[in-house]
Amino acid sequence: DSGVTQTPKHLITATGQRVTLRCSPRSGDLSVYWYQQSLDQGLQFLIQYYNGEERAKGNILERFSAQQFPDLHSELNLSSLELGDSALYFCASSPRVGGADNEQFFGPGTRLTVL
Amino acid sequence: AQKITQTQPGMFVQEKEAVTLDCTYDTSDPSYGLFWYKQPSSGEMIFLIYQGSYDQQNATEGRYSLNFQKARKSANLVISASQLGDSAMYFCAMREFNYGQNFVFGPGTRLSVLP
């Protein structure tokens, strides 16, 4: 158990809908990362937050947004869902922003299926 | 542009033998980090090892070591004394620290450890 929790584990929804994925980092970790893993695109980095502020942005679509709250949990919002958004969404946390301390602890992932 | 290449889609190794998983990268950023992750068939993602571009010594974590050859832009993962539990997908990734802090992942190598 990495100490990172993600809810829900599975989510099935329809095209055009909006969903929210939630991530709670390990106790004390300030940095949260979001990744998408799909058969088509492989693993992609979406976005990173550090202590409530956006730190780095990857291949995140404009239909997607994220935030990190004062209690350090993070939410990833996916809207106007398309079939191609079906994927495994991972959250990871680490103690610091980057540099030498780059160990990340991953949650179990949320499997999103868009029908 | 960032790029990660893993040329071995699948590898087999005998239990207790050592195995090297190849990873080459391309970047123009002098400051970057290289990561290896493991994904067993159960689906969770596990961080294994990190190497910074300015690190003088190769990173090691238990049975994992990273053979970092900067001039050749390679960052091969060496697993010593393979165990059945090492059977998994292995992903190499790179993060540029000056150019947007994006992560880029390779396509992965599926390692099968034979008894």
Q: How far apart are CA A54 and CA A69, in angstroms?
A: 11
Q: Are A110 and B57 in contact (CB under 8 A)?
A: no
Q: Of A37-41, A43-47, B9-13, which range is least confident? A: A37-41
| pLDDT tens per residue across span B101-113 | 888 999 999 999 9
Q: What are phi and psi of B105, to 5 degrees?
A: -105, 150
| pLDDT tens per residue across span A4-44 | 999 999 999 999 999 999 999 999 899 999 999 998 889 99
- E strands, chain B, are 3-5, 10-14, 19-21, 24-26, 32-39, 46-52, 60-61, 64-69, 74-79, 88-96, 103-105, 109-114
Q: Are A9 and A22 in contact (CB under 8 A)?
A: no
By C-alpha distance, the chain B residue nearest A39 is B107
Chain A interface includes B40 (CB < 8 A)? no
Confidence tier at A100 by pLDDT (50, 70, 90): very low
Confidence tier at A67 by pLDDT (50, 70, 90): very high
Contact A88 B107 (CB under 8 A): no
Q: What is the distance in angstroms between the Cα of A100 and the nearest Cα belonging to chain B?
A: 7
Q: Which residues contact B25 (CB under 8 A, 6 or more apart)?
A: B2, B3, B4, B5, B32, B34, B73, B74, B75, B92, B94
Q: Which of A93, A102, A105, A110 to mutate to probe the B interface, most B CBs <10 Å?
A: A102
**Region of B73 on the Ramachandran plot (φ > 0 left; ψ -120 to 50 alpha; else beta):** left
| pLDDT tens per residue across span B74-101 | 999 999 999 999 999 999 999 988 877 8
Chain A interface includes B107 (CB < 8 A)? yes
Q: Are B36 and B92 in contact (CB under 8 A)?
A: yes
Q: Are B39 and B45 in contact (CB under 8 A)?
A: yes
The DSSP annotation for A78-115 comes to E-S--GGG-EEEEEEEESSSSTT----EE---EEEEE-
